[in-house]
């Protein structure tokens, strides 16, 4: 399938269809962006569109979020255990803000899924309550896309009550009711 075909920035099956479920050990077409992060200049798997988060989060620089499921094991282990202490994994974004090296274009590559999506630390971000309040009345469409930044939620693991957490900013959605689930 051509790299010029428009598809959501989320893992696809090898024939280019959105992945209904991402399974550890299987191969997928994954959006990748070349950039520098923690001294590694490489193509990084990304999830969701390039965006800024000035509105609720206060980060006004354009960036991508990492799709940690597809980051190579050695790099992930180094970042998760040695550098980032795991719980702040989601606070990091791929941006050209600090290093003056522009990010490359999105390209699609075959990548193996190495792990389930790590849990979003919903107890940590102080801005999450504000973001939840802004999206409290929204309902997911049949496409199962988070209305905040357009991230495909269908390939994510569901918890015991049928909810998924958007890996970009932590909004928790009940896939049966299609409504936002708030912790307050």
CA pair distance 157, 28, nearest whole angstrom:
16
Q: State residue 181's pLDDT score.
A: 94
The domain in which residue 138 lies consists of 27-174
Q: Is residue 60 part of a domain?
A: yes
Q: Which of 88, 90, 16 is nearest to 47 (CA)?
A: 90
175, exposed or middle or buried, with CB in 10 Å at 0-12, 13-18, 19+?
middle
CA pair distance 92, 72, nearest whole angstrom:
16
Q: Is residue 129 part of a domain?
A: yes
**CB of 85 within 8 A of CB of 92?**
no
Q: State residue 48's pLDDT score.
A: 87
Torsion of CA 86, 156, 170, 168, to 10 degrees: 80
Q: State residue 86's pLDDT score.
A: 52
Q: Is residue 119 part of a domain?
A: yes
Considering its fold, how many domains does the chain have in total? Answer: 1
Q: State residue 30's pLDDT score.
A: 95
DSSP 171: -
pLDDT along the chain (184 residues), means of 10: 54 83 93 88 92 89 92 87 61 76 91 91 84 94 90 88 92 95 79
DSSP 57: T
Report pTM.
0.86
Q: Is residue 135 part of a domain?
A: yes
């Amino acid at each position: 399938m051509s790299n010029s075909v428009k598809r959501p920035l989320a893992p696809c099956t090898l024939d280019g269809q959105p992945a209904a479920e991402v399974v550890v050990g299987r191969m997928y077409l994954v959006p990748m962006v070349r950039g520098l992060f923690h001294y590694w200049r490489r193509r990084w798997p990304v999830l969701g569109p390039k965006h800024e988060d000035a509105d609720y989060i206060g980060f006004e620089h354009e960036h991508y979020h990492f799709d940690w499921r597809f980051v190579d094991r050695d790099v992930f282990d180094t970042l998760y255990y040695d550098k980032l202490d795991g719980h702040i994994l989601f606070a990091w974004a791929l941006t050209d803000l600090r290093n003056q090296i522009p990010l490359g274009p999105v390209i699609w590559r075959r990548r193996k899924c190495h792990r389930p999506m790590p849990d979003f630390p919903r107890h940590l971000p102080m801005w999450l309550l504000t973001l939840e309040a802004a999206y409290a009345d929204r309902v997911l469409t049949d496409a199962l896309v988070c209305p905040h930044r357009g991230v495909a939620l269908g390939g994510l693991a569901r918890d015991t009550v049928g909810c998924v957490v958007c890996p970009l900013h932590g909004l928790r959605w009940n896939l049966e009711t299609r409504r936002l689930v708030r912790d307050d």
